[in-house]
Amino acid sequence: MSSPSRSAYERALGARVAELHLVLRRYFAVIPPGAVGVGEGVFESFGTQRRWLWPVLAIAKRCGVIVPGVHREVPFRVENRTEDGEQTATRTMKFDDGDWSMVDAVSFVPRGSRSEVGGEVPCDSQGGVVDVLGKPSIVEAEFAVDVVNGGLRLRSRRIALRAGGLRLPMPLVLRPVIELSERFDDTLDRQRVELNVDVPLIGRVYEYSGTFTYRIVSEYLRSTRGN
């Protein structure tokens, strides 16, 4: 199958992709066939201090979505691929008690189309992306995509839970707001990622932040040399 000419992020941004930092343009572009994007870095902080959430998050952890607890200085590795028109990512964190991986797949949602997450994309939207998280997939989140000072910013506008063949859109009163920021720090010469999850009437329930370096390598060389 031929590789798409533009990634989900590039299609969502349209001409505004030119506003991204050059490093981020490469990061959010299509990964060529036979190649993999590899990022390596450290999460300075990762998790939530709200202990009452930990039992629920333990279930999500088993599906590769989110991990309970509060963690500091966590080494991680991300592997990005373009597969069947989707941008897939596996982020592996190296915790003291062993490695854990978070998996997701991002696809494009055209302007005015009906999203799988529920409802139509607003007519004034330029399109967006849908991120399907977990293995098996248990969460879908639709995001508006923006460029701010050369960095990419995502803000959720719909979230749904998946159970078997069912999709259960979350009502506004309960729906978390997820904000993700990706930017390049020229001083550190590293890419920075920050994610915040806030719930109405509760506040911040999850967050992570960290920096990493990124390169695109041959899938064959990665598997044979382990780099």
C-alpha radius of gyration, the chain, whole number: 17
* Matching residue, tokens 């999709």: 167
Contact (Cβ atoms closer than 8 angstroms) between residue 45 and residue 208: yes
* pLDDT at 124 exceeding the cut of 80: no
Whole-model pTM? 0.87
Provide the b/e sequence for 187-206 (b: ≥16 CB within 10 Å): eeebbbbbbbbebeeeeebb
In a domain, 124, yes or no: yes
In a domain, 3, yes or no: no
* Matching residue, tokens 């966590």: 74
Q: Which of 29-38, 109-118, 131-140 has the lowest mean pLDDT?
A: 109-118
Q: What is the pLDDT of residue 85?
A: 86
In a domain, 158, yes or no: yes
Q: What is the CATH number of the domain that holds 180?
A: 2.40.128.20
In a domain, 2, yes or no: no
Phi, psi of 222 (to 5 degrees): -60, -40
Above pLDDT 90, what percent of the chain?
A: 71
In a domain, 1, yes or no: no
Taking residues 185-205, report their average pLDDT.
96
> Distance between CA 76 and CA 92 in Å, rounded?
5
* pLDDT at 126 exceeding the cut of 70: no
In a domain, 62, yes or no: yes
Domain count, the chain: 1
In a domain, 209, yes or no: yes
* Residue-number span of the structural domain to which 84 is assigned: 8-225
In a domain, 87, yes or no: yes
User: Mean pLDDT over all residues of the chain?
Assistant: 89
